[in-house]
Structure 1
Amino acid sequence: MDLRKNILTALLLAIGFIMHQVVPGALGSMKFDFMLSFMFVALIINKDFKSTLLTALLGGIITAMTTTFPGGQIANIIDKIVTSLVVYGLIMIYSKAKFNVITIGIISFIGTMVSGTVFLAVALFMVGLPAPFNLLFATIVIPTSITNIFITVVVHNVVIKVVKITRIKFIDIV
């Protein structure tokens, strides 16, 4: 694991933490999880299994600390780990292709859908849901998945532009 990549991952998770903290709880105290976009960019840049596990664990702990969902702490940690592993698999599948707006959008959409589904399933099993699963899925998970496409693409493009401008040669420009 490269120190520069770890620092970039830490910065992305810090920004994701702020985004997760300022977004208010919506239906059933669920939040739009914008931390995922920053996690996905960190995973795309690192493309390393150890970094994936570290990003998943840190992202899960951070979102667990800022959740407004009653009993959502464990669900957040589990969902970030499962989601990061799925996204890592998608990144490995797409690694032969160039990461463009379409592939990043697909990875983000699928990753957010997986995250929301796992979170709701774990929360349902552990503490119950404040509203029906289908309602929470339709009003929180689907809109978040669509929104995260745009956020992930923008954040990824900003990171790539910063790397090009600063001429730091620690990631492959994708």
Structure 2
Amino acid sequence: MGTREVHGAYEQGLLNSFRSHVYMNAEAVLLLDDTGFVGEGIRSAGVQQHYGTAGRTENCQIGVFLAYDTGRRRTLIDRRLYQPTSWTDDRTRCRQAGIDDTVGSRPRWPWPRQCRAIAEKIRFRWVTADAAYGFSKGWRFELEQADVFHVMATTRHDTVVIRWALDHPVHDLLPGLARKTG
């Protein structure tokens, strides 16, 4: 087992340990978010031009995190490294960065049916995420199909499912919604 595998197994062991101490609250919230980590070089897995933490587009890796918040306690329960197709389509580059041939392109976060927290039936009330996830109709649809309450940011130009309409424009529901400036 290489250094990467040992490090990854250790991190996963820590996450599993945290999970066993906090999964007791049916009112908890799952918080999904990603962040960019400035990265350099051609062998840092997943590095490419992304909008990063510095508020501009730069070479970085995207880490995606899922936190569990009970209102009294919060902890990280899952994480993954986003692998863009520009990387996974170049198997030689992947091998040089230590990415196994079995790893394909990963979405920033898997569809809800693939999310371990949902698959493992961890107790929580709802999921929240920013517009990067809320803008995905497929993501929202799968949460609805899994009967998971969710609050997602989106844009005023998006459409949402409401009780009496399948694709209702957000700006019609909230006519006073400010237009983005700047």
TM-score bucket (shorter structure): under 0.3
More strand by share: 2
Structure number with the bigger relative contact order (C-alpha 8 A, sep ≥ 6) is 1
**Larger relative helix fraction:** 1
